[in-house]
Amino acid sequence: MSTSKYFPARLNDKRRRCSKAQVKEILDKIKSDGRKLLFEDEVKRLLALNGIAVTPCEVAHNEDQAVQLAAKFGYPSVLKVRSVFYTHKSDCGGVKLNLPDENGVRMAFREIRAAVAEQEPEACITVQPMAGAGTEVIIGVTTDNHFGKVIMFGLGGVFTEIFEDVTFRLIPITRKDAFEMLESVKGSMLLEGYRGKPPADRESLVEALLKVSKLVEDNEEIKELDLNPVVVYENGLLVLDGRGTLS
């Protein structure tokens, strides 16, 4: 059992080829559940199938399962509520970060269940390892009334929330479009590293943008995706959270 944070270098990337059938299976399952909302673990599976690095994320139905999963992925651990009633997970107390050990996981599991008791007392909870720090960015997809499928890129936190420093492109995008997206946000120099912070792996970000574009191009029914945050390291990146909707 490790107690260091999760980085993409540790990801055992077997260069799995994107399996269209597996993607379809996930989307069909959601549709057959009568859901529009894609849970975080589902978004991450879609991304992983398309070669985008994510923190592993699995569903626990009870406390013991959560503990087993946390041990499997390594500590520190992260627990998040998985519910159609709580789509903004952290607003309702449904996210617990940096849990150091089994005790922490058990406490967090109970706290989250208590926080969502009103709407869904038996809510499932996802477990994943705590990722290391890097440069936070956001990748989004929306379906615009006028243009159709559009991909968005922005820097994380205040850059997107307060300064609205984001950029859009029509899907599908080219490699050149993806590079220009990185450059066309005002805070783009943050990706180059500053004050001792190492530069972010721009190439991996370009790859991720291209793969998200392709995923949406190939699967018309994906209406929205919100990958937030995506953490970019000196080598590689990780999608730490995500949600989506189907049309």
Partner 1 sequence: MKKDLHPLFYPRSAAVLGAGADPERVGFNIFESIVYGGFKGPLYPIHPKLKNILGYDVYPSLDKVPGPVDVAVIALNQFSTVDVLEECARCGVKGILSIAGGFGEVGTEGVKLENKLAERANELGIPLIGPNTLGFINDDGNFYATFYPLRLIKGGVSVISQSGGMGLTIMQKALDEMMGMNKWIGVGNRAALEFSDYLAYLGDDPATRVIGVFMEGSEDALKFVKLIREICLKKPVVVFKAGQTKESDYMAMTHTGSLAGPYRLYRDILKQNGAIVVDTVEELVACCKALSLSQLPEGKRVGVLTHTAGPSIVAADYMLQLGCELPKYAPETYQRVRDVIGQNPPVVLKNPLDAAGLGFPALTYGRIADAVLGDPSMDIMMAIYCLHKNWRFPSREIIDVRNKWNKPAVAYYVSTVGDSAIDREMLQKEGVPLYISAREAARAVYALYEYKQILSSQAQ
The binding site for partner 1 (CB under 8 A) comprises: 138, 140-148, 150, 152, 154, 160, 164, 166-170, 173, 176-177, 180, 184, 224-226, 245
Q: Which residues make beta-bridge pairs with 78?
A: 128
Listed residue (86, 93, 97) closest to 40, CA to CA: 86
Measured between its terminal Cα atoms, the distance across the chain in Å is 41
Instruction: Name, in order, each residue with C-beta under 8 angstroms of 94's C-beta and a sequence gap of 6 or more.
Output: 80, 81, 83, 86, 112, 115, 116
Minimum CB–partner distance for residue 230 and partner 1 (Å): 13
Q: Which is nearer to partner 1, 55 or 245 (CB)?
A: 245
Q: Which is nearer to partner 1, 77 or 142 (CB)?
A: 142
Minimum CB–partner distance for residue 58 and partner 1 (Å): 25
Q: Which is nearer to partner 1, 68 or 163 (CB)?
A: 163
Q: Which is nearer to partner 1, 148 or 193 (CB)?
A: 148
Minimum CB–partner distance for residue 181 and partner 1 (Å): 8
Minimum CB–partner distance for residue 224 and partner 1 (Å): 5
Q: Which residues make beta-bridge pairs with 245?
A: 37, 224
Which two structure tokens, joined as six digits, stand for 143?
Answer: 């379906």
Q: Which is nearer to partner 1, 68 or 184 (CB)?
A: 184
Minimum CB–partner distance for residue 159 and partner 1 (Å): 11
Question: Are 6 and 131 spatial neighbours (Cβ–Cβ below 8 Å)?
Answer: yes
Distance CA 134, CA 199 (A): 9
Question: Are 69 and 58 spatial neighbours (Cβ–Cβ below 8 Å)?
Answer: yes
Q: Which is nearer to partner 1, 104 or 157 (CB)?
A: 157
Listed residue (234, 233, 231) closest to 242, CA to CA: 231
Minimum CB–partner distance for residue 128 and partner 1 (Å): 22
Q: Determine if residue 164 is left, alpha or beta; phi over 0 gives left, psi from -120 to 50 gives alpha, anything else beta.
A: left
